[in-house]
Structure 1
């Protein structure tokens, strides 16, 4: 599946449909045209901009791929979050941090492939686990360009209680990260 580049108008329309604008993103937050990440789970399920996947489909960590526009040796950070923890109508634990991989470098073919074996796994992958009667959750994958290799804080724990309240906006700001690509899917306990 080829990676897709969307214009900013299409992006905003699609994000409004799933209420990611204004819940997560500002409408004018896409002045450039970020690309979509290609995300495939081991069972063959793919993330296709707001499609529905089940907790079983997404239990194991996916392969995330991206082809950057430039051929520099830039490093990248991948973040996966759920803004709807424990439920969209009660986001007291959001953003829930599902996965953080830092210092990922492109391969010799200028492709970024992220799995459990690339980059530095600051937060090991944990698949979606929406609780009963919590409705549909939105799971976002965000790829950021780093200006250089960085030593990220060791406070990114893997324990569940430490995954709550992850301010990915502040994390990106603190580390001077630039959003370059993303994708998302929907998931509920009843799928």
Structure 2
């Protein structure tokens, strides 16, 4: 399966799980890359698989692979000066259908830099047709990673990883709290934060976790 085909599969998974439009409001979103996420328990995030909370408590290793079709009508370049924001958010806190704590921010890291550059290009950039990977991406943590802690009898929660490109001149700052991303508005979260700081969504992955008591 090619990476471009994987992008279509990702969109299908996001729609079926209602990550689109709950977390990602733009129904036309097309992934520009793929996040490979693996915990130190050897559990890997796979677009909607289930991982036990006990197996996902530590920050995972996260790799990013750029994916743009060679016939893309929109030229998109990533340069060495570009910076990214990486987040993990739970839209089901405390439970799906009750948004008083959602979205709950589990992780927020800014100024992530990617090594997806083509050394043969004079401007040291990557563009359409590239399939390049940055391993173990990291940035400056504004809110350190905390693992899933779904309450008893609240069913499965979605834990959504999102990678955004930052806009020049807009430096994201830490929200005032984790519940509702500090807005106090039930149901608000990553999309509103991204809009505030002019972030462009590049890639997404997610898994489900639930309390053992149901």
- Shorter chain as denominator, the TM-score bin is 0.7 to 0.9
Name the CA shift for 1:87/1:189 in 2 (closer, same or farther; >3 Å): same
> 2:146 aligned to 119, 126, 135, which one?
126
Unaligned runs of 5+ in 2: 68-76, 118-132, 182-188
Quote the offset at 1:22 in angstroms.
3.6
> 2:63 aligned to 58, 62, 65, which one?
65
Which has the larger displacement, 19-28 or 171-180? 19-28
Contact 1:3 1:66 in 2 (8 A): no
Question: How many Å separate the matches in 2 of 1:112 and 1:71?
Answer: 16
> 2:95 aligned to 87, 98, 105, which one?
87
Q: Corresponding residue for 1:146?
A: 166
Unaligned runs of 5+ in 1: none
Contact 2:104 2:179 in 1 (8 A): yes
Contact 1:3 1:35 in 2 (8 A): no
Q: Give the aligned length.
A: 181
Contact 1:79 1:99 in 2 (8 A): yes
Quote the offset at 1:25 in angstroms.
3.2
> 2:203 aligned to 171, 175, 181, which one?
181
Contact 1:7 1:33 in 2 (8 A): no
Q: Corresponding residue for 2:192?
A: 170
Deviations, residues 146-176 of structure 1 (Å, cap 9, x unaligned): 13475432x435xxxx210122212111221
Contact 2:48 2:207 in 1 (8 A): yes
Name the CA shift for 1:19/1:106 in 2 (closer, same or farther; >3 Å): closer
Contact 2:150 2:209 in 1 (8 A): yes
Larger radius of gyration: 2
After TM superposition, the score normalised by the length of structure 2 is 0.74
After TM superposition, the score normalised by the length of structure 1 is 0.82
